[in-house]
Structure 1
Amino acid sequence: MKKLKNEKELVKKAIALGTAYGTKRGVVEFEATDSAHEKLEYIYRLLVHDKVIQPLQEDKISQKAIMHRLAIWASKQ
């Protein structure tokens, strides 16, 4: 897994885009106390469920892998 040049900014963009996507679908309403990791995992699972992104292998799922996959998704938006 090659680290992206501006992955931190892309992860922030992915959270914003994912939140907007989930709100538009009417399935997500994040609280102020929700952590970034919880948001990232929920957004990842929602996008996989909707077949927007390809899922990771079950044994490869980690916070770092989810962040990387969502950063790639955000870079293409």
Structure 2
Amino acid sequence: MKKLKNEKELIKKAIAEGVKYGEERGAVVFEPGDSADLKIEYIYRLLVHDKVIPPMPEEQVSQQSMRHRLAIWASHL
């Protein structure tokens, strides 16, 4: 998996947009103390469930791969 040029900024954007998406949909309410890793996993699984992004095979799902997939999603927003 090739790292994106500005992946850190895209991950921040993906978390912000994903939190907004999940809360507007009424699926989740994130607490201020929730970790970025927890948010990334929840946002990834929510977007896969809603068929916004394609799923990865379960054995390939890791924190790094979810971050990368969300960064790609954020780059298209």
The TM-score bracket by the shorter chain reads over 0.9
1:1-77 correspondence to structure 2 within 5 Å:
1-77=1-77
Runs of 5+ in structure 1 lacking a partner? none
Q: CA deviation at 1:20?
A: 0.7
Number of residues paired by the alignment?
77
> Alpha-carbon deviations, 1:18-62, whole Å to 9, x = none?
011011101111011110000000000000000000011111010
Q: If the length of structure 1 is used for normalisation, what is the TM-score?
A: 0.98
Q: If the length of structure 2 is used for normalisation, what is the TM-score?
A: 0.98
Kindly report structure 1 stretches of 4+ aligned residues shifted beyond 6 Å.
none
RMSD: 0.5
